[in-house]
């Protein structure tokens, strides 16, 4: 087995990669700071944020307010926009110098790209797309919970002999912490040595997707196989309630609705105040995406549907007459 770039005996502390956009922390960075704070306190170790970018000092202060003890900042014009070569080079060097025991990143396009590159450079393992994190009792190793076989199997993975222990975490899994503007922390700016000629990516134009973010919805109206491709009544209910429409993987696989609305283990984990679940059987790979809702209302014609085990209110009936009656009631109350 190839040894990692440094040993477990040399490793210290829990680090979080602070993904940012135009100098502001992304939501997943705040979520990881919240979970990281909890994990760090349990082990009695400092929580350090790794922040790369240009003009990101305000983001570093934001990270401290959200739980970081220290923020290591690499600030350079060549880091203003994420590129694989620049970010992987700088992050790897900082990690080799400081030797963190654990490194958490968001399972975003950039986070996944960077994590894979770092795992290779540091010769360590990577647990990808985690939906849970915990310390293993007795060993203190990081346990990353992941699913397999379409969500039908849940496994806990650990990295026993290589450091850092690395994991990417799905956005929306952990709630972001509240900010404390008076919280004290330390910022440390590290020197950056980059050769522009070795950065193979040239940014010609940047377009930020401004589509729906169902992880922020307070009300979520979700449909599955039982809607038979007709999301119109769900869309109307979501409009009347000021919410968003979500879907099961089956509905997305069938092309009834876009992937940006997929809920569950292979989609997004949500925390709405109210989740109205329509025509979804309720397999584990879906329910993990709504289990933290304040109130779950399920409508299904099958009285044995698994979703009723998770629901607070259960309606056993044909879906569309119930939706029509609900729409009429909501319109009347508007």
Whether residues 184 and 226 share a domain: the answer is no
Whether residues 26 and 160 share a domain: the answer is yes
pTM of the model: 0.81
Whether residues 74 and 136 share a domain: the answer is yes
Rounded mean pLDDT, 251-280: 92
**pLDDT by residue (tens digit) across 21-55?**
989 999 999 999 999 999 999 999 999 999 999 99
Strand 47-53 versus strand 142-148 pairing type:
unpaired
Of 198, 226, 249, which one is at a domain's C-terminal end? 198
Residue 213, pLDDT score: 83
Whether residues 153 and 120 share a domain: the answer is yes
Average pLDDT along the chain: 92
Whether residues 176 and 223 share a domain: the answer is no
Q: Name the token pair of 195.
A: 């050769």
Helix ranges, the chain (H):
27-43, 57-65, 84-98, 109-122, 232-241, 249-253, 284-287, 307-310, 319-333
Residue 268, pLDDT score: 86
Whether residues 29 and 177 share a domain: the answer is yes
Of 152, 173, 198, which one is at a domain's C-terminal end? 198
pLDDT greater than 80 at residue 317: yes
Whether residues 45 and 188 share a domain: the answer is yes
Whether residues 66 and 128 share a domain: the answer is yes
Rounded mean pLDDT, 263-274: 88
Q: How many domains does the structure of the chain reveal? A: 2
**pLDDT by residue (tens digit) across 98-136?**
999 999 999 999 999 999 999 999 999 999 999 899 999
Whether residues 165 and 259 share a domain: the answer is no
Residue 198, pLDDT score: 87
Q: Name the token pair of 183.
A: 């919280």
Whether residues 297 and 249 share a domain: the answer is yes
Whether residues 49 and 164 share a domain: the answer is yes
Domain hosting residue 236, numbered range: 214-333
Integer Cα distance of 143 and 42 in angstroms: 14
% of the chain with per-residue pLDDT over 90: 79
Taking each helix axis from N to C end, the angle separating 84-98 and 109-122, rounded to the nearest 10 degrees, works out to: 50
Taking each helix axis from N to C end, the angle separating 319-333 and 232-241, rounded to the nearest 10 degrees, works out to: 30
Residue 153, pLDDT score: 65
For residue 152, being part of any structural domain is answered with: yes
- Looking up residue 244, the CATH number of its domain turns out to be 3.40.50.1220
**pLDDT by residue (tens digit) across 53-77?**
999 999 999 999 999 999 999 999 9
Whether residues 61 and 167 share a domain: the answer is yes
- Looking up residue 59, the CATH number of its domain turns out to be 3.40.50.620
């Amino acid at each position: 087995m190839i040894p990692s770039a440094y040993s477990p005996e040399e490793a210290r502390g829990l680090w979080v990669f602070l993904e940012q956009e135009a100098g502001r922390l992304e939501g997943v960075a705040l979520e990881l700071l919240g979970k990281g704070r909890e994990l760090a306190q349990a082990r009695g170790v400092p929580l350090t944020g790794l922040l790369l970018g240009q003009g990101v000092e305000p983001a570093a202060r934001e990270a401290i307010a959200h739980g970081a003890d220290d923020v290591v900042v690499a600030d350079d014009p060549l880091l203003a926009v994420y590129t694989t070569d620049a970010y992987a080079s700088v992050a790897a060097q900082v990690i080799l110098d400081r030797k963190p025991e654990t490194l958490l990143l968001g399972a975003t396009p950039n986070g996944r790209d960077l994590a894979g590159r770092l795992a290779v450079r540091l010769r360590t393992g990577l647990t990808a797309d985690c939906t849970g994190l915990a310390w293993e009792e007795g060993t203190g190793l990081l346990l990353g919970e992941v699913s397999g076989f379409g969500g039908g199997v849940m496994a806990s993975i650990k990295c026993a002999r290589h450091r850092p222990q690395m994991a990417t975490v799905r956005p929306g899994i952990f709630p972001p912490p509240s900010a404390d503007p008076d919280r004290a922390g330390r910022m440390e700016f590290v020197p950056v040595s980059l050769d522009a000629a070795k950065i193979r990516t040239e940014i010609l134009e940047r377009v930020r997707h401004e589509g729906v973010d169902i992880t922020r919805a307070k009300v979520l109206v979700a449909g599955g196989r039982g809607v038979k491709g007709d999301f119109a009544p769900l869309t109307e209910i979501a409009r009347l309630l000021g919410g968003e429409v979500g879907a099961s993987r089956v509905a997305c696989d069938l092309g009834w609705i876009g992937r940006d609305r997929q809920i569950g283990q292979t989609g997004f984990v949500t925390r709405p105040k109210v989740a109205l679940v329509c025509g979804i059987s309720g397999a584990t790979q879906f329910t993990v995406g709504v289990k933290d809702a304040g109130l779950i209302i399920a409508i299904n014609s099958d009285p044995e549907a698994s979703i009723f085990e998770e629901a607070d209110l259960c309606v056993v009936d044909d879906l569309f007459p119930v939706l029509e009656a609900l729409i009429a009631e909501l319109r009347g109350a508007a």
